[in-house]
Chain A
Amino acid sequence: MTHATLPDDRPTPRVLTSGASVNDGSVSLGAGVNTRRNESTLFRFATAGSVDDGKSTLVGRLLHDSKAILADQLESVARTSAERGFGGEPGAIDFALLTDGLRAEREQGITIDVAYRYFSTGRRSFILADCPGHVQYTRNMVTGAATADAVVVLVDARKGVLEQTRRHLAVVQLLRVPHVVVAVNKIDLLGYDEAAFAAVATDVSALVRDLGLPEAHVIPVSALAGDNVVERSANTPWYEGPALLELLETLPPLDELESDLEALRMPVQLVIRPQGALAHDVADPVSYRDHRAFAGRITSGTVRVGDEVQVFPGGATTTVVGIDAGPVALEAASAPQSVALRLADELDAARGAVIAASGSLPAARSELDAAVFQLDPRPLVPGARVLVKSGTSTVQALVTAVHGRRDLATLALEPADRLDVNDIGQVALRLAAELPVEPYAEHRRAGAFLVIHPQDGATLAAAIVSGPTSTTASTATTTEGAAA
């Protein structure tokens, strides 16, 4: 494959600035909404933006207006705000203090590390990864976006699209985050001017097209004044789209988009064999004497009792005879459930094995091309000996080549012989043992891995397997001759 551009078969980008019917308008927040929480579903999103875009203020506003900030927290923040002379008016609150959890962050007035926040509405429970906007902390952006169902990128309406915006959206594209929301903040400072917003939206549209993102939702907001954050604002009558929270309540999450559409994969974490050591509540100890079940979290697809499955390595075929969720036997289970599978045949499978739908067994590979997000200050160079952690396997690996570094403005690959911290590049790796990895674009959880320092154990880089699959796989199997 060529590394000049990313393989992309995705549709023409759409930028949705208005008219997207994503909500029935029945958002209501307030005391008591939490009582329906057990029926709600989980949605993970990350926020990113440049310094001073007002990201912490937006996060504080979301938490405050969705009643996730409780009285004692508000009181503590109000006290600190007053002590530091925040704002002109008495009682004005510096929302950033709600999220800057570390002493150094409060002292320097910047966010250093990803902070996780929790709030819920009647429909959804949200996990918010609040990612710092400094260039030197891009690794946190990667961390926050890796598991996100959506990323909210802040843009200052007065400054428009910046280099940082490009970097953030490039990360979003590479990690294939399902939904992109661009919040054009501080629209109040431009007198809620439609033309100013339209100009930014046009630039966003061009950037989204350049990067090959599928679409972006662009919303005019004022985090400070609360416009279009939780409720649609009367100050922007020209904007017909949803408020930010309305949108986040209705976008379909990753698991829903992917899991049911893909074949079963379950990396085996460990084998449950109680032998003599049975749990106290096992009613019939004798029947569990030879119990043996493969424990793992389903990463994609659905498994049903009676399904034929294949097991990596080796490819042996067997039948699922039981699905256990603790003491409860299930008829079927889907991603992302944690279960234990009982199989008809005695297989010599252990941690690192993958149970897959019959006929869909991933190819064993020992040569990989991967997009790499360099997270450690020590550069990644050809010849480096590292560990690769993928699924439930960790194997030794050799960096055989650094193909280049991506220009984050264009995503084009430029020549480079090493990757420095915060670089995103393309490398080749040879693994000491074959793994059932798959291209990230086809199968997210089987295509993501960590690059780890073999001595001190530091996470050096996050990486995703580039496509296509099969050609390298068969070559690797024959040349290495490694028996699975």
Chain B
Amino acid sequence: MRVAPVSEITTTTSTVAEARPRLSALDTLESEAIHIIREVVAEFERPVLLFSGGKDSVVVLHLAAKAFWPARVPFPVLHVDTGHNFPEVIDFRDRTVERFGIRLEVASVQDYLDDGRVQERADGTRNPLQTQPLLDAIAAGRHDAVFGGARRDEDKARAKERILSLRDEFGQWDPRNQRPELWDLYNGRHTVGQHVRAFPISNWTELDVWRYIEREGIELPPLYYAHEREVYRRDGMWRAVSPVSPPRADEHVERRTVRYRTVGDMSCTGAVESDAASVAEVVREVATSTLTERGATRADDRISEAAMEDRKKDGYF
């Protein structure tokens, strides 16, 4: 094999940096994500992708399609349905699953509420209630690996998450006892009852995701783009008027042009005022935004400095 001349190895001038064409940051991130998805499929028996219809899980599904093309995506998707979904998102979910020809598993929070296994919270938010149905669905499907679209730039606790993250029988994340992760060697060994969460787009930012959606022409639920909606102001966010998120008497309802930066449970996801009606406009908006997507749109993450860490420890995404 040829070895680099020493003088080239130690050169630090910028001329070298520009001389050779390199993969763009987005191409490098795509390559890393596809590598991770293939590693998990090769080393685990029954992977599944957590699929909410949100942009991050849609991107992971798109990456999986590329990773195995011309073969079909070799795993099903799992949706934890809070019962408080945006109808557009459920419609998008069903169309997507049908188009890709993959199986959809649904874990229904409503079923758990109906038979009393979990109880509605006083604030009406159902996000924290997803954990039990999720863990039961993982066990029922005998899934040993669970793909998710979580990114490290979303939250301080997620910044410390591994790409392959071991969960115990109770689905718990132990941040102080994580496996070191070196090079691109992902250690997914686990014992009976344990499973692994896999995050192929860990190293992507919100802007990377949007640039990729633009570049690849990926379809998203329409509420990611500017549209008119009946909204009211609560906790500094625009909340949609819906049967599960009704305004209080003192909250003034108005029609505004808004879009969603994240798509979650209707009871705790807020919209932002925006005229960005196309993907190119969204990319421009995200690039110049002065708020993080969770800060702008998630009521549940405002509860405390460690809200995400606490939910993750309990087995949340």
Q: Which residues of A come within 8 Å of B, CB atoms?
A: 9-11, 14, 16, 20-24, 31-32, 34-35, 37-42, 70-73, 76, 80, 98-104, 106, 112-118, 120, 124-125, 127, 139-140, 142-143, 146-147, 178-179, 214-215, 217, 250-253, 255-258, 260-263, 269-270, 272-274, 277-280, 282, 288, 291, 295-297, 324-327, 334, 336-338, 340, 351, 360, 375, 387, 389-390, 392, 442-443, 445, 448-450, 452, 455-459, 462
* Cα of A263 to Cα of B2 in the assembled complex, Å: 7
In the complex, given contacts A32-B288, A351-B42, what are 12 additional A-B residue pairs having Cβ atoms less than 8 angstroms apart? A38-B211, A40-B24, A76-B295, A99-B159, A106-B305, A143-B180, A147-B183, A250-B14, A327-B70, A445-B183, A457-B189, A459-B182
| Alpha-carbon distance A143/B184, docked complex (angstroms) | 11
B204-218, CB < 8 A from A: 205, 207-208, 211, 215
Q: In whole angstroms, what is the CA distance A117 to B202 when docked? A: 11
Tell which of B11, B68, B156 has the most Cβ of chain A within 10 Å. Answer: B156
Instruction: Please give, as numbers and ranges, the residues of chain B lying within 8 Å of A296 by CB-CB distance.
Output: 38
CA–CA, A325 and B38, complex, Å: 13
Q: Are the C-beta atoms of A336 and B160 separated by less than 8 Å? A: no
Q: Is the Cβ of A34 less than 8 Å from the Cβ of B288?
A: yes
Binding site for A on B (CB under 8 A): 1-4, 6, 8-14, 16-17, 20, 22-32, 34-35, 38-39, 41-42, 65-74, 99-101, 152-153, 155-160, 166, 175-176, 178-185, 187, 189-191, 202-203, 205, 207-208, 211, 215, 283-284, 287-292, 295-296, 305-306, 309
Residues of chain B lying within 8 A (CB to CB) of residue A114:
160
Residues of B within 8 A of A337 (CB): 23, 27, 31
The answer, among A101, A215, A278, A338, for a CB contact under 8 Å with B157, is A101
Given contacts A37-B207, A70-B289, A445-B184, contact A262 B2 (CB under 8 A): yes
**In this complex, what residue of A is CB-closest to B102?**
A280
Give the distance in Å from the alpha carbon of A26 to the alpha carbon of B140 in the complex.
57
Q: Nearest residue in A to B182 (C-beta to C-beta)?
A: A146
Q: Are B24 and A39 closer than 8 Å at their CB atoms?
A: yes
Give chain A residues whose Cβ lies under 8 Å from the Cβ of B2: 261-263
A215 to B12, CA, bound (A): 10
Q: Which residues of B contact A125 (CB under 8 A)?
A: 25, 205, 208
With contacts A116-B203, A450-B187 taken as known, whether A272 is within 8 angstroms of B71 at the C-beta atoms is: yes
CB of A30, distance to nearest CB on chain B (Å): 10
A53 to B220, CA, bound (A): 46
A71-B291, A261-B8 known; A37-B211 Cβ under 8 A: yes
A178 to B284, CA, bound (A): 35
Across-interface contacts of A351 in B (CB, < 8 A) = 42
Say whether, besides A70-B292, A113-B175, A252-B17, A297 and B180 are in contact (CB < 8 Å). no
Which B residues are CB-close (under 8 A) to A104?
176
Contact B65 A389, beta carbon cutoff 8 Å: no
Query: Which A-B residue pairs are the 3 nearest by beta carbons?
Result: A457-B189, A72-B295, A101-B156
